Chains A and B, each alone.
Chain A
Amino acid sequence: MENKKEESKIDGEFKKIVIATLEVFPSDKKISIGSVGEFTKEEMIENVENETDVGEKIVEIQLNYLRSFKEGIFYEQNFADNQT
């Protein structure tokens, strides 16, 4: 993965929001992103700030969540009822 992008791909305001979200993460947790590796809160923030591929992935996940929430993901899912 590239460490840094030359041009800003992330909307500045949204980047601030994502970083603010990450800042409340507990310090004793790490995110595992497949073969890319594991990242602490500080490393996640750094990746978003530097707009690396990892940072873009984190932003994409947050955007996806906001979009899904707006579309009612918690109310519209209709999976089979019985748990096995």
Chain B
Amino acid sequence: MEGFCFRKLDVDGALLEAADRAGAITRGSFLAGALGVSAAAVVGADEAVAQGGKSAKVDQGILNYALTLEYLQAAFYTEAERMKAIKGDVGKAARKLGSVERAHVKAFKDVLGRNAVGRPSFDFQGVTEKPRPFLKTAVAFEDLAVAAYGGQAANLKADSALAAAVSIYSVEARHAAWMRYLFGLNPAAKAFDQPKTAPQITQVVRSTNFIAAPPKTKRKRAPSFTG
């Protein structure tokens, strides 16, 4: 299991190279559920925009898409923290990033309220247990988040949603630079970051097999009364 995962990461040269390849992928039905979230979440991020969807719906789709990427990152750092296998500066960074990504999850869930998508189940296949695979995956996740936010910022309709996304976007970029520095890569290799579309991001995330199961469908519950 562990060997498979490392080899996969090495063969693929991390997620970002896959992202470049994914540029050729067309938007198809695979999008629905590929991220392990509802079709509306993914469709909202790109296609509702193209179809000229209603502002609130478009923003909701984009925010749910961002929420799913934040779920992924939060779960990754939280697992690394729980494993206690990563020490020193890298371990400290993992704890910090875990708390920040969890705060991002909470912020998106709070603003989306009952429209928030559920959390998928993840299987990080051992990469949270050793520093190098951990860092390599962290670099890929953070660069991916930067490309995802960069690709959606201009699609957001409401100023407040845009302000929210931009102020998180730059924090993801800080994380990307931080993880790259710790991994020994150039933190800012280019003067401009290349954005990616939702289908590209989805394809990359799916190719990792880190999403083990889609979120459980929420059962409609009768409102609870007290007294």
Indicate whether A and B interact.
no
Name B residues whose Cβ lies closer than 8 Å to a Cβ of A: none
